[in-house]
Amino acid sequence: MAGRARAGLIAATALAAPVAAAAEPVYFHKPQVERAAFEGDLSECVELAGGVRVQRQNLPYSPNMYAMAAGAFLAGFMASKERRHMIGNVLRTCMTDKGYRRVKATDAVSDELKRLDKAQRAERLYSLASDPEPAGRVLPQ
């Protein structure tokens, strides 16, 4: 049961909250998928995406410590953005390989997910994933 709850929380965290403010809220859909299969597939893909590493940026030397600090600060922002992008790509590719489709959640579904706690969100995401028809627009893989 602990593994099941952990996978549900991973699902809720990975799918319900958009990566950035402008990102679309998406979920993965595979009609009639069993809960154990969905949790296993998602856990495997989240674990795989967690191994993403971004190459560290080499900053040019400057005797001005303020310039170095500003450069490091901006490099950190760029590395974070690149890492989120790579994680999204790995997660999308992995789930696609397992037969899932990415679906842009409708505004009503997105608002509903924001109001739920983690356990309820995980349950709702599973019901969305296993419904016969997706609740939203299917996105290109």
pLDDT at 3: 55
C-alpha to C-alpha distances, 107 to 24, 58, 98, nearest whole angstrom: 10, 42, 27
Q: Closest Cα partner for 60 from 48, 52, 72? A: 72
DSSP state of 29: E
DSSP state of 64: -
pLDDT in tens, the chain (141 residues): 455 545 544 554 455 444 433 467 888 999 999 999 999 999 999 998 888 888 777 777 888 888 888 888 888 888 888 888 888 889 999 999 999 999 998 888 888 888 988 889 889 889 999 989 888 888 887
Q: Tell me the one-letter amino acid at 29.
A: H
Residue written as token pair 């679309």: 24
What pLDDT is stored for residue 10 in this prediction? 52
